[in-house]
Amino acid sequence: MKLSDLSPLMARREDGGLSYDRFRADPALASLQWPDDVLEQFLFDHGDNAAFVYDYGSIDLREVTWRLETIPTADFSGMPTGASDAGCIENFADNPVHWVRVRPPEVGRHWEEHGTWLRPPILIDRRLLDPSESGLQVLEGRTRVGVLRGRLREGLHVAAHHQAWVGHL
């Protein structure tokens, strides 16, 4: 199953007639058995985004297994995102205070108190991509990773490790 196979489901969601609860219960997604957080951030929020379809359209979604993992801060320093959004992480990193300020207040409090994001981003093992490469890539959470990089650069509080959903083959 590829992102393009979900076009009818995405069209129903886009028309406003499909809440997240109804979306995740759709029989087309039953074989995935993905965590709700991944299903919502990846497929519900971005499954029909042209850039996502371009960057991740070759992945067989049934082959991806998701785990919540703890990733060292250093691993995020050069982690790329999809080719269609190249450079966007650094754009967010240029002004991390702004990108936290435009979010709900609890996001900023979480950064200040814990030095990390409130909601784990979605990363993918680059061996799932075409062409296959090594390492991890930011699939969703480009703003969060940009804020992390910017806070590091500005000497603001950043934890040594961060949770992220990681998709593996």
- pLDDT tens by residue, 50-79: 888 899 999 999 999 999 999 999 999 999
Please tell me whether the overall predicted TM-score, pTM, comes out greater than 0.85 for this model. Answer: yes
* pLDDT beneath 70: ranges in the chain: none
Q: What angle do CA 127, 46, 114 make, to 5 degrees?
A: 80
**Which pLDDT score is estimated for 55?**
92
Residue that is written with structure tokens 């087309």 in the block: 28
So where are the chain's domains?
3-62, 65-168
Token duo for residue 75: 């691993």
Token duo for residue 59: 């992945």
